[in-house]
């Protein structure tokens, strides 16, 4: 039977762009270009490698995001994924991590899966919580932060490198995994891949399709609430210490003044 791999990919605001908050203190996603979260490219790469080593496998990329999030799906399809699922609904505006995990879980279940592959964190929210929330919702094992991963005999095996130890993890499928940026360079889409991606199926789903009530998501349904947010003040010019015999002393005084020493 075909190995069904679902890769969760997030469309994130370009970190090099000028980013702002909207009036309701959510990130203004209309005003800035976005792209496939770089850390999710590693997830797509590992999913493709697992599929290439399997007798029969299908890779579906899944995103929850606005209309433009299709760009992230197209990039993943051009890398080699077979099909895509895009969950889009106006009522999703302001959904927090708990709500996003509900939407992803329902979409994963609807798609059908043996293995869900996530990135280690998104490059905007960077919470790194989604894979754990997703496995809890799906009621399947999680093996997170893997730098090496393989699938054999109905099990996923991986290596997690920690500060104090390296762990070998194994979980029976179905399971959720996340992979780190140490798992191997992500491939660049080839010209052929980019052309082929235009013809690959992208299924659009909304909250109704997933049997999710609007009050379970969005700002109202979120467990977390942003009370206040302020843009970081512009950087001020640094202090230049000119060494005219007393440079080291001035440097030490500066560091002591900043409580670095």
Ligand X SMILES: Cc1cc2nc3c(=O)[nH]c(=O)nc-3n(C[C@H](O)[C@H](O)[C@H](O)COP(=O)(O)OP(=O)(O)OC[C@H]3O[C@@H](n4cnc5c(N)ncnc54)[C@H](O)[C@@H]3O)c2cc1C
Nearer to ligand X, 62 or 146 (CB): 62
Q: Is the omega angle on the peptide bond into residue 174 within 30 degrees of 0, that is, cis?
A: yes
Structure tokens, 28? 């203004």
Please give the angle made by the CA atoms of 154, 102 and 158, to the nearest 5 degrees.
30
Nearer to ligand X, 45 or 96 (CB): 96
Nearer to ligand X, 104 or 115 (CB): 104
> Half-sphere exposure of 185 toward its Cβ, with a 13 Å CA cutoff?
3
Nearer to ligand X, 10 or 75 (CB): 10
In the complex, minimum distance from the CB of residue 95 to ligand X, in angstroms, rounded to a whole number: 5
User: How far apart (Å, rounded) are the C-alpha atoms in residues 178 and 186?
Assistant: 15
In the complex, minimum distance from the CB of residue 89 to ligand X, in angstroms, rounded to a whole number: 10
Helical H segments across the chain, by residue range: 38-53, 70-79, 97-111, 130-138, 191-197, 218-221, 247-257
In the complex, minimum distance from the CB of residue 126 to ligand X, in angstroms, rounded to a whole number: 5
In the complex, minimum distance from the CB of residue 21 to ligand X, in angstroms, rounded to a whole number: 10
Nearer to ligand X, 8 or 151 (CB): 8
> Half-sphere exposure of 31 toward its Cβ, with a 13 Å CA cutoff?
10
| Residue 169, CA distances (Å) to 119, 129, 159 in order | 17, 19, 6
Q: What is the DSSP string of 141-171?
A: -EEEEESEEEEETTEEEEEEE-SS-EEEEEE
Please give the angle made by the CA atoms of 256, 260 and 261, to the nearest 5 degrees.
60
Phi, psi of 93 (to 5 degrees): -55, 125
Nearer to ligand X, 40 or 114 (CB): 40
Structure tokens, 33? 């270009």
Nearer to ligand X, 22 or 195 (CB): 22
* Residues at the site binding ligand X, with contacts judged by CB under 6 A: 8-10, 26, 29, 37, 39-40, 43, 62-66, 92-97, 100, 104, 118-119, 121-122, 124-131, 224
In the complex, minimum distance from the CB of residue 186 to ligand X, in angstroms, rounded to a whole number: 13
In the complex, minimum distance from the CB of residue 23 to ligand X, in angstroms, rounded to a whole number: 12
User: How far apart (Å, rounded) are the C-alpha atoms in residues 69 and 93?
Assistant: 14
In the complex, minimum distance from the CB of residue 128 to ligand X, in angstroms, rounded to a whole number: 5
């Amino acid at each position: 039977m075909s190995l069904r791999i679902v890769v969760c990919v997030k469309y994130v605001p370009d970190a090099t762009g000028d980013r702002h908050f909207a009036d309701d203190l959510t990130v203004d996603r209309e005003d800035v270009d976005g792209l496939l979260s770089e850390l999710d490219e590693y997830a797509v790469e590992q999913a493709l490698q697992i599929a290439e080593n399997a007798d029969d496998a299908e890779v579906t990329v899944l995103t929850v995001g606005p209309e433009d999030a299709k760009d992230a799906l197209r990039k993943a399809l051009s890398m080699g994924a077979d099909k895509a699922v895009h969950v889009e609904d106006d009522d999703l505006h302001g959904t927090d991590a708990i709500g996003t995990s509900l939407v992803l879980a329902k979409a994963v279940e609807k798609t059908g899966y043996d293995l869900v592959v996530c990135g280690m964190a998104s490059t905007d929210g960077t919470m790194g919580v989604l894979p754990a929330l997703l496995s809890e919702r799906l009621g399947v094992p999680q093996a997170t932060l893997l730098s090496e991963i393989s699938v054999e005999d109905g099990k996923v095996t991986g290596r997690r490198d920690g500060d104090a130890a390296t762990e070998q993890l194994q979980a029976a499928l179905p399971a959720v995994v996340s992979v780190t940026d140490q798992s191997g360079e992500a491939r660049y889409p080839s010209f052929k891949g980019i052309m082929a991606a235009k013809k690959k199926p992208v299924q659009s789903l909304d909250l109704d399709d997933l049997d999710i009530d609007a009050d379970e998501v969005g700002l109202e349904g979120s467990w977390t609430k942003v009370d206040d947010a302020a843009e970081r003040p512009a950087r001020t010019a640094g202090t230049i210490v000119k060494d005219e015999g007393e440079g080291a002393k001035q440097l030490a005084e500066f560091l002591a003044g900043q409580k670095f020493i």
